[in-house]
Chain A
């Protein structure tokens, strides 16, 4: 579905105007944390005008609303009068808040004859990490984004470059998402000046099973897209496996490069090539 999602503050007209030119697979128009409380109405208005008037749009549009228990949520969700929004990103998501959102979305879909709106759940509290499987099973939820900064704040711990303090939370999000066949999305890297740290952070997240990562600056997208795309080595392996499979029709298992290949690895090979094709990776 996507490898990279870029946060764009809803009150930044220049970034809104240019949202479609960045290399993000999805743009998250943010009405929450990157927007000061004095700017909430302004941001909502600007995003509304963007949705109404912009000529060019990114591949996927996500709107991060304010949490359901805030005074801004009701107005934020009223933006959903158009099919241009693909996903709502719900902050401080848990099962209860998802149910509140579900009810609102049902009303809006009926009222404005909209296609079903999908939801990305932002799990950023200890409670949501504990009940992440229930969140993942929710009918609206198509992806789970780990929010490590709020989580670290609640836990009263410091974030580190290595990220070992969020390993448990990452694993919970990855396992729950994978079990429910939705996409696990990694927390953004806030060191926007440190490309090496971003690279290492992406490699760790990918090795654990994350399938995408959020960015807070467009300059992070190139590295994120590179890491979360199939590598040349993976593509070569996948092509080799499928070629070998053609030679071994009717066999449940066969050998490739000295290793046994059976159904799960053939599925993996197909997925790699599907992803390479989806992201237009020509190698």
Chain B
């Protein structure tokens, strides 16, 4: 069948209808776990496999707060390889290039199913080439929380890296040798997995403040190291000097200002890329000049937001993951730097999630099409290179969703007739800001009207598409295979697009 963004979905799969369709259904909640016994402290990950009888076909979950510095998933993979457990279902919130041990497990069919929100590196390569036995499911951060709490994604054992754990099994990421800050993506795993194992390298007697409640924790494994804290740094902490990036950032900030979105009580979220960082800097300049203070900043938090919190430009930060070590320190030191869970962040069924309170969000794109659909999942050849993360969640929730991108990257235009893969539906995207102009979604007549006299270069998206082709020529159409290797799941659990095996 054809879904609500004109994409093929196989019969029997729940097809995406619209980004508002979730409102027609009720929240489904399974019972939170009820721990039967005291928390057990162990010295090896291997021993948890005996204790909880981890066997063929089970679902194991992980979080990605240590990102490229994570060693827990690597260590669990080693145990699986040694025991040759088969047909496992892995549900890490994201998969990073350092998670290399997963590759052999996929090839040997120890892992045959995967749910995740984002992946790149060697794992994404072997999946793109069709080596995962069952279709990959790529959902959003909010969608993952929804699928866990509803029982759609049933986790047998959650292995949760935790920088510091106390003797009651409570855990925090706010300090310790591998401090990573908030642990928001793991809260659903903690509350709903059948068994929860915290893996730590630091034990203390008692924690006064903790994000992981020991009441949900079945076992704590103490290892030498859970990872490298420096590996958590995501994106960049330096402002771009790239003139194109700066031009996009400046025009984006000016558009936001012209739209009147910088006002008392406004809130915002951006990514951690170089251009996003420059937008934040320009917005900060506008706030300082106009003496306007906002309500909150949210998301993956970077040092730029920490600086604005410390300057009093925001009252609070809501943080699901710390993107750099300054953010980790701020989360530890500043009470107004608050943790949120993935569910509180973007679960469509959460009561008033943070994403619904955002005035504007600034997001990236690999491709955008003439209907404003955005792809951040695959490249133009169909290789998996990322995923939604919170993209679709906040694009839907925010009052204004802005995509920033150069009009072409390495001579390849980013505006397509149809994106290779739909990650975020065009109905939730309002503005595209490029170095050569800004396109406003025709559904947002109000925004177009407000930008009319701004002096900014406003175009129809097709005009930008034509400008790009005038410069680069029209790229050859890429033929994908018709073999489905995965599904992109919208936040409500419906299929917004399929992932196809790349042609060798």
Contact = CB atoms under 8 A, between A and B. Distances in A.
Same assembly: yes
Interface residues on B, range: 10 to 19
Contacts of A55: 470-471
B470 A18 contact: no
A18 B247 CA distance: 11
B247 A22 contact: yes
B470 A14 contact: no
Interface in B233-253: 241, 243-244, 246-247, 250
Interface string A232-268: 0000000000000000000000000000000000000
A217 B243 contact: yes
A218 B247 contact: yes
A17 B471 CA distance: 8
B293 to A, nearest CB: 23
A15 interface: yes
A17 B244 CA distance: 11
Interface string A200-234: 00000000000000000111001000000000000
Contacts of A22: 243, 247
Interface residues of A, number: 12
B243 A219 contact: yes
Nearest to B453: A282
A130 interface: no
Given A18-B435, A21-B435, A21-B436, A218 B470 contact: no
Contacts of A217: 241, 243
Given A21-B435, A21-B436, A15 B243 contact: yes
Contacts of A218: 243, 246-247
A177 B163 CA distance: 69
Nearest to A217: B243
B249 to A, nearest CB: 11
Contacts of A56: 467, 470-471
A46 to B, nearest CB: 15
Interface string A130-165: 000000000000000000000000000000000000
A10 B394 CA distance: 42
Q: Which of A14, A17, A21, A56 has the most CB of B within 10 A?
A: A21
Interface string B250-276: 100000000000000000000000000
A17 B408 CA distance: 11
A36 to B, nearest CB: 20
Interface in B220-244: 241, 243-244
Contact of A21 (B241, B247, B470): B247
Nearest to A15: B243
Nearest to A53: B471
B284 to A, nearest CB: 14
A36 B247 CA distance: 27
Q: Which of B241, B243, B471 has the most CB of A within 10 A?
A: B243
Nearest to A219: B246
A248 to B, nearest CB: 35
Contacts of B250: 222
A218 B243 CA distance: 6
A222 B285 CA distance: 14
A55 B471 CA distance: 7
Interface string A53-76: 001100000000000000000000
Contacts of B243: 15, 18, 22, 217-219
B3 to A, nearest CB: 37
A22 B248 CA distance: 11
Interface in B67-89: none
A44 B435 CA distance: 26
B74 to A, nearest CB: 38
Contacts of A15: 243
B488 to A, nearest CB: 32
Q: Which of B247, B436, B467 has the most CB of A within 10 A?
A: B247
A225 to B, nearest CB: 13
Interface in A1-41: 14-15, 17-18, 21-22
A14 B245 CA distance: 12
Interface string A104-136: 000000000000000000000000000000000
A16 B243 CA distance: 12
A14 B244 contact: yes
A218 B249 CA distance: 13
A8 B244 CA distance: 13
Given A18-B243, A21-B247, 14 more contacts: A15-B243, A18-B435, A21-B244, A21-B435, A21-B436, A22-B247, A56-B467, A56-B470, A217-B241, A217-B243, A218-B246, A218-B247, A219-B241, A219-B246
24 contacts: A14-B244, A15-B243, A17-B471, A18-B243, A18-B244, A18-B435, A21-B244, A21-B247, A21-B435, A21-B436, A22-B247, A55-B470, A55-B471, A56-B467, A56-B470, A56-B471, A217-B243, A218-B243, A218-B246, A218-B247, A219-B241, A219-B243, A219-B246, A222-B250
Interface of B: 241, 243-244, 246-247, 250, 435-436, 467, 470-471
